[in-house]
Structure 1
């Protein structure tokens, strides 16, 4: 099981240890490492929630940028999150979080895979990211369908940033309570 160091030790941690913090809270992603590892070494945080807020603001800055390179960078960070219902997930945390999505009615897995494909065709370079938070597969699929139909790529990026931060806060809370 992954763990988090005491928050007050993060700024003095090695680069590899700060990468580990980011990978534990978010998903392994070189672009996120490049964006945030230095900040984690330069900033004293009162809590993991404060650290996650800082990373969230960095992601928001990419979102607000008009530079194509920043938009690609953000897309790469958002796409580091595994597809919902995917069988092979590298992150132990994501595997545990998605475990309930791999249970459900017959045919739902295929429908979820189809929705993932539709989503990625509608929003090239993005991946559907949502804080599952105990919701059923059918509720998540309804949300996914609604977002596909909405068709607003900027809102998708905004929602995904919020979901990444919500997921990271949930992970931190669970790991610190363990």
Structure 2
């Protein structure tokens, strides 16, 4: 049985209360966060039930709203997802998505370093990507490419302090926030499939 509440329950009572069916569904699909509960759920509740007939429609409606948000608010939303390579304090779905085979400690250490470098380059953002069955090592290589780093297993090179920052709210920063929102949408759609919804 799917942990998603019945869509009929979401549509019958779309109030954004934290313990309501809408909030539960959104938290499961997108990861719980204050901005999800305080901003997205109330905005989305105003569009239901007319625009939503399936859970896929619900994800699409949420993404349509997220795309209109100020990039700083988008960054808060994206921050509800765990960092790539984290192994503790994960939701059940995040743990399953990041699991794959055992990850070598050197890869986990490199991912932690890359997360710190990314967050230095893009202050206020968290690196999010649609993993889609890829290993943590493959995602590590993707992060290195995004940051323009050489391939390495170093847990401290280059030094975090040496990473140049982009302007918060500037075009590069905004583009990265928007890319992350789109990947969160891909993750939510994949979760729907995994949940059989």
Say yes or no: TM over 0.5: yes
Residue 20 (str. 1) matches residue 40 (str. 2): no
Matches of 1:161 and 1:72, distance apart in 2:
12
Residue 161 (structure 1) aligned to one of 176, 181, 197: 181
* Deviation (angstroms), 1:35: 2.3
Answer whether contact 2:71 2:174 (CA < 8 A) is retained.
Answer: no
Q: Structure 1: give runs of 5+ residues left out of the alignment.
A: 63-69
Q: 1:98 maps to which residue?
A: 98
Answer whether contact 1:12 1:41 (CA < 8 A) is retained.
Answer: no
Matches of 1:41 and 1:2, distance apart in 2:
25
Residue 48 (structure 1) aligned to one of 46, 49, 55: 55
What are the equivalent positions in structure 2 for 1:23-172 lying under 5 Å apart? 23-38=27-42, 39-40=44-45, 42-44=47-49, 45-62=52-69, 70-100=70-100, 103-149=102-148, 152-172=172-192
Question: Per the alignment, in what secondary structure is the counterpart of residue 11 of structure 1?
Answer: helix
Matches of 2:5 and 2:98, distance apart in 1:
25
Distance change >3 Å, CA 172–CA 46, structure 1 → 2? same
* Deviation (angstroms), 1:129: 0.4
Question: Per the alignment, in what secondary structure is the counterpart of residue 131 of structure 1?
Answer: coil
Question: Per the alignment, in what secondary structure is the counterpart of residue 176 of structure 1?
Answer: coil
Matches of 1:159 and 1:73, distance apart in 2:
14
Q: 1:65 maps to which residue?
A: none
Answer whether contact 1:2 1:24 (CA < 8 A) is retained.
Answer: no
* Deviation (angstroms), 1:72: 2.4
More helix by share: 1
Question: Per the alignment, in what secondary structure is the counterpart of residue 11 of structure 2?
Answer: coil
Answer whether contact 2:107 2:140 (CA < 8 A) is retained.
Answer: no
* Deviation (angstroms), 1:36: 2.4
Q: Structure 2: give runs of 5+ residues left out of the alignment.
A: 150-165, 167-171
